[in-house]
Structures are given as structure tokens and as C-alpha cells.
Copies of this chain bind each other. A is one copy, B any other.
Amino acid sequence: MNTHQNTLQESLRQITELLQKHRLVENLIHKQESPKHDLIESLVHRQHLVELQNRLGRLHPADVAYILESLPLDERLLVWRQIQAQRGGDVFPEVSEAVRNSLVEAMNREELLALVSQIDTDDLPDLADAIPPDILQEASESLEARERHWLHSSLTCPKDSVGQLMSHETTTIRDTVSLAEVLQELRHRGELPPQTDKLFVINARHEFMGLLPLETLLVRDPQTRVAEVMAAQAVTFNPEDKASEAALAFERYDLISAPVVDERHRLVGRLTVDAVMDFVREEADEDALNRAGLSGEEDLFASLWDSARNRWLWLSVNLVTAFIASRVIGIFSDTIASLVALATLMPIVAGVGGNTGNQTIALVIRGLALGQINAGNTLHLFIKELGVSLLNGAVWGSMMGLITFALYRNVALSLVMSAAMLLNLIVAALIGITVPLLLNKWGRDPALGSSVLLTFTTDSMGFFIFLGLATLFLL
């Protein structure tokens, strides 16, 4: 694989080089207007494009997607135009959300319609965010009735639900036939959908009955009836189930594919491990960006304008909270004026509170994601985190007290520093547990926003506690 990853990096390097040559020639053509030069250079030009197409043609759609994601916008669109017509439908679903949007923006209505008609119906629900609704509507009208129905029901499923991730390609067999008949039927079909490790057994009413692993087909006596050897106990999902819960089940039970059934237990689709894995990766990526206050859709090579705007919401929230914290300091400006050392020490109290609070948040968010936190142990968790903050506040608060004394030789100031550290660590622990738990209870993503709220509180309270104590005891 090292070799494989290197080959991919090498492809990227070669393609980047080709693109640079291409650009050079293009610039030359634009500068020199003589018709003779023109002819030669446009030949060279065309040669580069042919070579580019050849190179791209040898790559797996997922690798082409990787190349697209790694190129700045202009080059990305040039490469996309080379493959759009023939392989667009395979490559587009593999591209990350942010880059997808940049491609869609560069295409006109006809191109988009052509692209959507090339895409596998299974992939469309997941792409619905990127494709304009009217295009999706128009494209869906040319589908067969069954596929159209399936697409429609998938699209109406909630965001990040099993219904959005599931595939409509299920290989079903009846419970009454023999393994030999199943084998004959499969041989007749000639191929199975990807990620098929088991067949789904249904009865005459299309109700899901059980699973028949391919392994069973291979090793058991062909004269056996399906109903005798199928696994009737199976993990099934409902289209409305949360994709994150399905992902946990796939991890726990090492699933490769699983049936999706409706409330009347009729088989409606199939969830496969590749879709689940893509979902897990996207969620993890999005979470990491969300925690830093970025929308998960920011593309590394987005235009300057798009990037700047993507950061505005967070910047403005951040400015407002910083402004409020700064007003807290403003209340105590007389105190600071009479003892400037306070201005020097106050960011320490605020900063340490923010950092330890974020540790608590990270633990609570993970516990919530893994379903480890419930009504029975919340109190236990509260007591433990309060204990940790008391212990750490006592130890590190005393240490900062000593350092303060070494710097300013002022016992009262040292005591105020120690007490403020201890109190702000307790505030941090309380907020660090409460905020993600409340966000989760209200059905929000606990990762989104808890950190902002926490830092706001530990900053404001840190300044308030420290300067307040100073006003009471030092003036």
C-alpha cells in the first residue's frame, strides 16, 4: 500500500506538471498572436490534454476524486472537464462535499442533467444537498417507476438517517426454495451487487424472514431448503433510524451488509459497510471542523471570498463573547488602575479554566457518542468531575499562588489568585458537563457550540471571580 499511496501521489505530481505545461502554453497563445505560432502551440496544447486524459483514464474513480480534491480551483475544473462526460457519474459521488459544490457551481443546467443521469440511483440521496432540487426532480422523471419511488422515499428520510445511506440493490430469495435452486438462479444472473455477503430471505408478502450468508450456499448440501439454514435472528434497520446508531451496530457486530425493513417488516433496502464507513469518516471530519467553528463544507482550496465568509459566523460570535468578557473587566477598571498586577494575572485564571473545561467537554461528548452516559450515571459523573476540579484547583491553584507571591511579594494577592483558580476550575467542570448534556437532551449535536459557550463562561467568570475577589480583599 505504501507503494500504492506513493503511486497515487506520483500520479498527482505528474498531472500537476502536465497542468503547468498546459498553462504555460495557454499563456503563450494569449500573448503571441501570430497565426503560425498559434497552430504549433495549439497542437502542443492538444497533446497535453490527450496525455492528461490518458493518465486520468487509468485511475480508479476514487483516485480521480482524490486528484480533484488536491488541486486548486482552476486546475480542478480543467481536470473535471476532461472526465465529466465519460466518467463524471462514477467520480462525482466519490468527491467530498465541499469539492462537489465547487464542481456544481461550474456546470450549466444541461451538464448537470447529463451528470445526474449518469449517477447510480443509490448514490443520489447522499448527493441531494449538492444538486439543485429542480435538476434532481427533472432527472428523477426519467427513472423507472420502481427506482423513482425508491429515490423519493429515500429523499424524504431525515438527514443522516439509514434511509439516506441505504442501497436499493437487494438480492432476495424465497424461503421455500432449495439451495440448489438459489445457486442456479445466481448463476443465471451472472453477478451480485457489490458488498454482498449474504442474501435476504423473504416470504410471498415481501416480508423479511432471515439471512442466507454466501458461505452457507457454498458449504451446505444443495438439497437443503433455505428456511432450514437461514439465520432468522438478524440485526435489521429501519429507514428512519439514525445513521450514527447503525454505524455503532456495524462496528459492534462486524456487519458487512444488513437488511432495512419498514414498520410492516417488508424489505425496503440494504445498508452496506462501505456506505457506513464513508459516513463515519465524514462525521469525524465534520465534527473536527465544527468544533473549530467551521462548516464541514469548507474546501481547502475554496476561493478566498468563500473561505472568509465561511469563518464569519464564528468570528462574529467570538467577537461578541470576547466583547462581553471584556465588559466584565471594564466593570473593574478602577480596581485594575489601583493594582496593575491584576491585569497581568487575569488571563491565566481565564485561560486555565477554558482549557480544563474543554477536557471535560471532550470526555462527555465521547461518552454521549458511545451511548455510555445515561440517567443512571450522570450524577456519578458530576461528582467525579467536580472532585477532579477540586483536586486540580487545590494543587495548581496553590502553585500559582506561590508563583504570584514570588513575583509580587503580596500575600493577599496570592490568596486571591489561588482562590480564583480553584473557583474557575469548578465553574469549568460544571459548564463542561452541563452544556453538552443539555444540548444532547434538546436533540442538538453536543459538539457544536459547547466549546464557545464554555470559553465564554470561563473567560467572563474567570475575570469576574478574580477581579471581584481582588476588589473585596485587596482594596
Interface on A for B, CB 8 Å cutoff?
A: 1-5, 8-9, 12-13, 16, 60, 62-63, 66, 69-72, 94, 96, 162, 183, 186-187, 189-192, 194-197, 214-215, 217-220, 235-238, 240-242, 245-246, 248-254, 256, 273-274, 276-278, 280-281, 284-285, 287-289, 291-294, 298, 300-301, 304-305, 307-308, 311-312, 314-316, 318-319, 322-323, 325-327, 329-330, 333, 336-337, 340-341, 343-348, 350-352, 355-356, 358-359, 361-363, 365-367, 369-374, 376-377, 380-381, 384-385, 387-388, 391-392, 395-396, 399-400, 403, 455, 459, 463
Contact = CB atoms under 8 A, between A and B. Distances in A.
A292 B359 contact: yes
A390 to B, nearest CB: 9
B72 A380 contact: yes
B235 A254 contact: no
Given A218-B183, A374-B9, A281 B251 contact: yes
- In terms of DSSP, what is the predominant structure of the interface of chain A? helix
Contact of A253 (B60, B183, B273, B396): B60
Given A1-B237, A214-B214, A13 B376 contact: yes
Contacts of A190: 219
B285 A288 contact: no
B326 A12 contact: no
13 contacts: A1-B162, A69-B370, A72-B380, A280-B284, A284-B284, A288-B291, A292-B358, A307-B385, A308-B392, A311-B359, A322-B348, A326-B348, A333-B341
A1 B249 contact: yes
Contact of A62 (B242, B253, B312): B253
Contacts of A280: 277, 280-281, 284
A22 to B, nearest CB: 14
B371 A5 contact: yes
B363 A1 contact: no
B219 A218 contact: no
A308 B390 CA distance: 9
Contact of A347 (B1, B322, B369): B322
Nearest to A287: B288
Nearest to A387: B304
A218 B276 CA distance: 26
A254 B194 contact: yes
Contacts of A362: 288-289, 291-292, 294
A406 to B, nearest CB: 11
A205 to B, nearest CB: 21
Contacts of A4: 235, 249
Given A219-B190, A236-B1, A372-B69, A326 B308 contact: no
A352 B218 contact: no
A374 B70 contact: yes
A411 B267 CA distance: 71
Given A294-B363, A376-B16, A381-B300, A308 B245 contact: no
Contacts of A274: 251, 254
Q: In this complex, which of A1, A215, A237, A403 has the most chain B Cβ atoms within 10 angstroms of its Cβ?
A: A1
Nearest to A386: B304
A322 B396 CA distance: 13
Given A325-B351, A340-B343, 17 more contacts: A70-B373, A71-B377, A187-B218, A187-B220, A197-B197, A273-B277, A284-B284, A288-B288, A291-B362, A294-B359, A307-B384, A307-B388, A319-B348, A322-B348, A322-B352, A326-B348, A333-B344
B351 A318 contact: yes
A363 B297 CA distance: 11
B347 A347 contact: yes
B314 A326 contact: no
B377 A72 contact: yes
Contacts of A346: 343
B329 A343 contact: yes
A291 to B, nearest CB: 7
A154 to B, nearest CB: 17
Given A72-B377, A403-B323, A192 B217 contact: no
A33 to B, nearest CB: 30
A327 B404 CA distance: 11
A256 B197 contact: yes
A125 to B, nearest CB: 18
